[in-house]
Structure 1
Amino acid sequence: MGTQGLKSKIASGFLSLRGSPRDLYIIFVLKVLESYNYFSLSRLFVLYLTEDFGISDLTAGTLYGVWGMLLTAYGFFLGGAIDFLGVKRSLVVCFALNILSRLAMAMTSTRWVLLVSLLGPNTVAGAMGVPVMTIGVKRYTNTLNRGFAFSLFYTLMNVAALSQGVLMDFFRIRWKHGFDVPSLSGKSLLNNGNRLFLASGCVTSLLGLGLTYLLSTAPVEVAEPGAAQRLPSSDSVVDQEADPLVKGPPVGQEASKLGQLWVAVRNVALSTEFVKYLFMCIITVNLKSVFRYLDAMLPKYQLRAFGCDAAIGLIYSINPLTIVFLVPVVGAMTTGFQHFDMIHMGSYLSALSPLWLVLWQEEWAAALFVLTLSLGEAVWSPRWYDYSMAVAPTGREGVFTALASAPLFVAMLPTGMLSGYLLDRYCPDNGACGDVSKGKASVKPETGEQTCHGSAMWGLVTLLTLTHAYRLSFLPQKWVRPAPETGEARDASSHPGECMDFNEADPLLLVENVSQTVVAPRRRGVE
């Protein structure tokens, strides 16, 4: 497909959204606001814990892993609450919890208040927002425009990631001391760039809360092409029950729903396709975990190796910027390639990306690391979704992908711990930045016995990721490559296409996978 074909495809996608309910566009805006909340916290997480609360690298990395695991776990267990509350009320709870918890985290100087707010209401808010917005997109689209709507949905997520990177550097470098009120301490909200950046999520949440009240409470009708009737779309998922999938008690009974879910989970877990896919997930888990080092290890490394004014956010922004523009192009140019082959080729690009920091300890090398990682992601990440849909049993895609997310879920904690250990061992805090909030930071790292051995640290990361990419080359592909007949295109309602980036290594998307196992059986008839 050439450039004109790509433009035509994008134009037809936007045209397919004509006549969509107003609520769909509100959901798109809410996606940007909530994604900003997630990415701003994710990037600041370990820095805030260490710089403002004196938490060690190892403990901060461990807490980062715990946060990711809790985000996913809450997403699973809150499925019933989302069903009961519906889209609008769930989003109200989401944004309200985010406002309160962020204010507490930004204003407190007590560790236990920070950790309770962070791992409690703030994580619950994130776990509720992701699946609810996914339900909203499915509700306000039909089978013809749903694929493009989801592509746009995830593109907007990357736009939010891009914007937070730019704002992070503004708050940390240009507005390091905030309003610099003489009567307040350097660790107060108004005099601290980190705290103001964290509190910026309160502003986006306030906007989100206001927009949420514009969502319709009355049923919204979305016409299916060629259908003689319209599908109801109301505020509560409970109102949308369809005919039961199996004979027996009504779907409205909780025992029946849980029974259907258990049967689906058992059947999928015992299938040959799932065993193959799970094996594929296990051997690539370290490859996908390299994205977590962008949050848990790279920011601290940049400060300690390049100085306190290192452009942390700007370098990170290379990733979403590359993904937004490159994924549609790569998807259009590689439609003739098998998804497994694209995963194989892209995995080597991502696995080799830390090599830049092994060879050169320079800021431009950090930028090339993120760029190379992003190029690999643009190649393999969208096609991973294709691969998972090709091997998943028809009608059980949600259960299948959620179960297969288990290795990444389990790997979050050791990945966070490893990042903290590597920093503490090879690139410890040399005191160069001092207390940034009080203006004692130096522009360049101090020279002395405590130095940052970045080559050794990133060399270990490269070995971990490259080993798993290497295994794909020598693995008997009949074990993991789906049979040709199972790779046929699926319906657009469940297959957003090769132009969508779906990096399930990100907890934000992992929680979406897991949450679908709980809410999917309750709304199967309206998708």
Structure 2
Amino acid sequence: MAFAQRLQEVRTGFSPTFWIANSLELFERLAFYGAKAVLVVFLVERVGLVEEGATYAGIFSGVIFSLPIVAGVIVDRYGFKKTLMACFFIFCLGYFLVGLAGMSYGETIVNLVGKKAYVFSMLMLTAVGGSLIKPCIVGTVAITSKPSVKGLGFSIYYSMANLGGALGPIVALMVHEHWGIEHVLIMSSITSFFLFLGAWFFYKEPESQATEVRTFGRVFTDMLMVFANLRFIFFLVIFSGFWIMFWQIFYLLPFYAKDVLHFEKFELLETVDATGIILFTVPMAALVKSWKPITAMTLGFLLASFSWILIGMVPTLWATVAAIAFYALGEAIQAPRFYEYVSSLAPKGQVGTYMGFAFLPVAIGSFTAGPVADWLRINYLTDHPQTTWFIVAGIGFTSTALMTLYNLFLAPKHQDA
């Protein structure tokens, strides 16, 4: 009877817009991670940005994950539907224009603007569009889920995002092999066009539950308040070390697969982390649910750091696959507890503001990971691949040590109680 009642809650707990929003999220993540899977290789080998390919890709992702802090203002002002349509339209245009940089019939305009200036400006255009989707989808999930199934609603959202992240590189590989690497960007553009149509025809604006419409002035005030909490900012900066390691899966690993392992289908390696997250998150969450959040996060850091040691010590394809799966295990342990911990650090009445900064470590990690990847690729990857991965592991172990010191000397002691 209890199971039947729960099943009925699931059936009636979500509005149709909830499922539309999650479907849009699935295919948007497929387009994003499909493009992300090949972006650095495309920029370095096809466009010719040998020294700054990963740096540009890092700025691209960094902007996407940092702008949602202010993108919520646009959502409040124009609504979810219009903002989603704007996001997908910009994505459609941006992915196409980035792909144009690697095509013969785009040479005239690229050379006119300048290769570096053209690619950078098109990536920034695309990133601005991408920053709009997070507050739209997360907000829709919150509004269109009844309180009794809201936790399940966010689990579904998280699963759709990771499923798209797992499928994107696979689709990218098929397009890459059949039509060329530049057409992966065109695939993401076409997918974004259909997402634009989907949002236009099927997405229904949910009834807003906001009690206050935020302004850019209010956002700026909130940002100053959060940045004034140096202990919290220090924690976020430490945590960005995890994401510096993570982004190497997209910025450095493809070149390692191609140049050292001689495995051309590098996109398959990039799907291992998202697949591992899908498989590991629920059992790991159950395993460590009684642990202190800071303990679970530190263990996740440690496991993720050791994964790069494995790649450095055993330079084989299957060892690399096992290492990325091991990294996903560490991510599955720390990720849910990270958001729980951030919410516990927020002063009373400021949880929403502080949670808006939860993506900041992902952004900082991406901004930093790009230049690190370019430096390691140019100086170490071909001749000293072991050193490459030991340095990445060193970033992880340093962050783990800093997390331990933070817990001993800076973390509010009552938060883990």
TM-score with structure 1 length normalisation?
0.70
Say whether residues 1:454 and 2:409 are aligned partners: no
One of 8, 24, 30 as aligned partner of 1:30: 24
Question: What is aligned with 1:395?
Answer: 349
Asked if 1:285 corresponds to 2:240, the answer is: yes
Question: Aligned partner of 1:92: which letter?
Answer: M
Find the partner of 1:62 among 50, 55, 60: 55
The Cα shift of 1:25 comes to: 0.7
Shift of residue 314 of structure 1? Answer: 1.5
Aligned match of 2:376: 422
Partner amino acid for 1:145? V
How many Å apart are 1:165 and its aligned residue? Answer: 2.1
Aligned to 1:163: 167
Distance 1:454 1:119 in 2: 32
**TM-fit CA distance, 1:24:** 0.9
Shift of 1:317: 1.5
- Mapped partners of 2:358, 2:158: distance in 1: 21
CA distance in 2 between partners of 1:99 and 1:303 (Å) = 29
Aligned length: 404
- In structure 2, the residue matched to 1:501 is none
**Alignment deviations for residues 496-527 of structure 1 (CA, whole Å, 9 cap, x no partner):** xxxxxxxxxxxxxxxxxxxxxxxxxxxxxxxx
Output one character per residue of 1:90-114: Cα deviation in whole Å (capped at 9) or x when no partner: 1111112222222223233423544
Tell me what 2:64 maps to: 71
- How far apart in 2 are the matches of 1:319 and 1:169? 16
Offset at residue 265 of structure 1 (A): 4.6
Q: Is 1:468–2:402 an aligned residue pair?
A: no
Aligned twin of 1:93: 86
What residue is the counterpart of 2:103 in the other structure?
none
Counterpart of 1:137 in structure 2 is 141
- Determine if contact 2:247/2:365 at 8 Å carries over to the other structure: no
Counterpart CA distance in 1 for 2:7 and 2:310 is 38
Task: Name 1:503's counterpart in structure 2.
Answer: none
Aligned twin of 1:147: 151
Give the aligned residue type for 1:316: E
Q: CA deviation at 1:143?
A: 2.3
Match of 2:36 among 35, 39, 42: 42
Select 2:201's aligned residue among 179, 203, 214. 214
Which of residues 128, 138, 144 is equivalent to 1:124?
A: 128
1:288-346 per-position Cα deviation (integer Å, ceiling 9, x unaligned):
31001111111112111122x43312222111111112101111232222212111222
Matched position secondary structure for 2:138? helix
Change (3 A) 1:285 1:72: closer
Deviations 1:170-229 (A, max 9, x none): 2334x2xx2xxxxxxxxxxxxxx2122221113322331222123465x75xxxxxxxxx
Distance in 2, matches of 1:195 and 1:285, equals 30
Amino acid of the structure 1 residue aligned with 2:345:
V
For the structure 1 residues 81 and 291, does the alpha-carbon distance in structure 2 shift closer, same or farther, using more than 3 Å as the test?
A: same
2: distance between equivalents of 1:130 and 1:394?
Answer: 24
In structure 1, stretches of 5+ residues that fail to align are: 179-192, 221-232, 245-250, 428-450, 489-527
**3-state secondary structure, aligned to 1:84:** helix
Asked whether the equivalents of residues 311 and 320 of structure 2 are also in contact (C-alpha less than 8 Å), the reply is yes
Structure with a larger share of its residues in helix = 2
Shift of 1:28: 0.8
Letter of the 2:384 counterpart: H
Distance in 1 of aligned mates of 2:54 and 2:321? 22
Describe the superposition over 1:148-169 as per-residue Cα deviations: whole angstroms up to 9, x where unpaired: 1111101101100111122222
The TM-score, its normalising length taken from structure 2, stands at 0.87
Deviation, structure 1 residue 17: 4.8
Larger radius of gyration: 1
The amino acid of 1:93's aligned partner reads: A
1:69 is aligned with what amino acid?
A: G
Q: 1:406 to 1:166 in 2, by over 3 A?
A: closer
* Residue 33 of structure 1: how far off its partner (Å): 1.2
Q: CA RMSD in A?
A: 2.8
Q: Distance in 2 between matches of 1:325 and 1:349?
A: 17
C-alpha separation in 2, matches of 1:170 and 1:313 = 9
Distance 1:269 1:113 in 2: 33
Report the alpha carbon displacement of residue 365 of structure 1 after superposing the two structures with TM.
Answer: 2.1
SS in 2 for 1:144: helix
Gaps of 5+ in 2: 101-105
Deviation at 1:401, TM superposition (A): 3.5
Determine if the alignment matches structure 1 residue 337 to structure 2 residue 337.
no
Shift of 1:384: 1.0
* Secondary structure, aligned partner of 2:20: helix
Distance 2:122 2:220 in 1: 33
Contact 1:104 1:113 in 2 (8 A): no
CA distance in 2, matches of 1:129, 1:214: 17
CA distance 1:339–1:54, shift in 2 (3 Å): same
Distance in 1 of aligned mates of 2:403 and 2:279: 28
Asked if the contact 1:168/1:313 (under 8 Å) is kept, the reply is: yes
Preserved CA contact (<8 Å) 2:339 2:358: no
For residues 343 and 14 of structure 1, the distance between their equivalents in structure 2, rounded to whole angstroms, comes to 35
Q: CA deviation at 1:74?
A: 3.9
Larger CA deviation: 152-161 vs 104-113:
104-113
Q: Aligned-pair distance for 1:23?
A: 0.9
**For residues 472-491 of structure 1, what are the structure 2 equivalents within 5 Å?**
472-474=403-405, 477=408, 479-480=410-411, 482-483=413-414, 486=415
Q: Secondary structure at the match of 1:44?
A: helix
Q: Residue by residue, what CA displacement relative to the aligned partner does 1:50-84 show, whole Å, maximum 9, x if unpaired?
A: 1211111x311221222123324543444333222
The verdict on how the C-alpha distance between 1:165 and 1:410 changes in structure 2, with shifts beyond 3 A counting, is closer
Change (3 A) 1:14 1:24: farther
Shift of the alpha carbon at 1:464?
A: 1.7
Change (3 A) 1:482 1:277: farther
Q: Which residue of 1 aligns with 2:328?
A: 374
